[in-house]
Amino acid sequence: PALGEERGPVVSAEGIPHPWPNGSSPGPGNTSHPKDLFAGLELLLHFKPLFIPLYCLLVAVACLGNAFLVGCIAANKKLHNATNFFLGNLSLGDLLMCLTCVPLTASYAFEGRGWLFGRAMCHAVALLQAATVYVSVLSLAAIAVDRYVVVAYPVQRRIALRYCGLVVATIWALALALAAPPAWHTSYVDLRPIGHDLIICEEFWRHMERQRLAYSCAMLLLSYVVPLLAVTVSYCFISAHLRRRSLPGSANLSQARWDKKKRKTFLLLVVSVLVFAVCWLPLQVLNLLRDLDPDFTLLGKRYINLAQVSCHLVAMSSACYNPFIYASLHRKCRAHLRGYLLARGQSAPREETSPESCLASWGAVPEPRHDSFMLDTPCNISLQRL
């Protein structure tokens, strides 16, 4: 399965297309009682009163948090630097995923009639859900690289405006390209003509089992190798660089303060990547098991639907954590949030809402006291123009 793919219930009736890629081709065949169509669906529906509120809470928290983060960056021009630009792109992808993919996927999982949103949305959601996750992966990698450049080459100007936009456009183009294969092989199958009140929106790789498995394995590696490798390499270089600068006589007080701030911001990047990897690990492992064991001898058909929805919920929850992680960057950021919530039209105390606070510390170097440091070059563009 593609990264971010949520597979539907397991169709077990003879002649009805299976939702895993090596299932039979869509078409009429022997029919069975509708109650036998979905293996384990009754167990899944038993937990519907638990999952629906959790999905609603997930969408509400993720949308509010990411919308605030994007709005905060877009509204303050002094936050328009490369790192915040990539951070806004990450939040924008999470916001898009929570507004479109999560509600429709949850509805499909618990709706007995299957997919109710039409053929076009079937393919669009398959593309967007995978693409938005790849946007998160590539944005985290871009932030890691940018952090290394800021620490290793502090006297150089930051990435220019046109290059910020070019990097973000490249991230989206690459994410859409990586998500295209599963969307291309997604089929919209209406079973009502053969007597079943059911519409299936599933991924079918007809007679392309090797290609499907190769794609699944490649995307599984990419979803973890890219962000984790980028952060690991960047962290090693940054640690070595800061260690050299912390030697006696090698740094002054201004440099020491700047190094401490950069250690903190990079630690938060590491936490963000680890949270992403941990949240997506259960779904990735489950999808890999479904690829390697299409007959469900390990998990059993009765429990596969419940396990799939549970892992999907955990994976989607990764969109909720980033706003809280970045809000904990500085106490002034929390004050900035309180100012938005409690006094939208009023100015907060100057000390609590200085432009250099909050997310600006991700990309902006404190005002230099010596010629060896240079302020970041801002990217004077609003994320609302994307």
To 10 degrees, the CA torsion angle through 214, 220, 221, 227? 150
Distances (CA, A) of 166 to 69, 124, 156, 161, 169: 21, 24, 19, 9, 5
End-to-end C-alpha distance for the chain, whole angstroms: 29
pLDDT value of position 310? 92
Residue-level pLDDT at 35: 43
At residue 375, the pLDDT reads 31
Could you state, in chain order, the average pLDDT of each consecutive group of 10 residues for the chain (386 residues)? 46 37 33 46 84 94 90 78 85 91 86 86 90 89 81 67 85 93 88 85 81 82 76 77 61 58 69 84 84 75 85 91 75 61 54 40 40 31 31
Q: How many Å apart are CA 183 and CA 126, to the nearest integer?
A: 5
Question: In this structure, what token pair is assigned to residue 6?
Answer: 């949520």
Three-state SS for 62?
Answer: helix
Q: Which of 275, 269, 277 is nearest to 235 (CA)?
A: 269
- In the chain, what are the domain boundaries? 34-380
Q: Phi, psi at residue 189, to the nearest 5°?
A: -120, 115
**What pLDDT is attached to residue 59?**
94
Measured CA to CA in angstroms, residue 2 lies from 139, 175, 178, 186, 235 at distances of: 18, 12, 9, 11, 28
Residue holding tokens 């990079």?
A: 266
* 8 A C-beta contact, residue 4 and residue 130: yes
Amino acid 62: pLDDT: 93
Which DSSP state fits 114?
B
Question: Contact, 201 vs 108, CB < 8 A?
Answer: yes
C-alpha span between 165 and 31 (Å, rounded)? 54
CA nearest neighbour of 189 among 22, 19, 30, 43: 19
Number of residues in the chain? 386
**Under 8 Å between Cβ of 19 and 6:** no
- Which residues are 11's β-sheet partners? 38
pLDDT at 33: 41
DSSP state of 12: -
d(CA 232, CA 383): 29
Return the pLDDT at 51.
Answer: 92
Fold of the domain spanning 34-380 = Rhopdopsin 7-helix transmembrane proteins (1.20.1070)
pLDDT score at 159: 67
HSE of 268, CA atoms in CB hemisphere, 13 A: 23
- Phi then psi for residue 142, to 5 deg, are -65, -40
Q: Helices 318-327 and 301-316 sit at what angle, rounded to 10 degrees?
A: 20
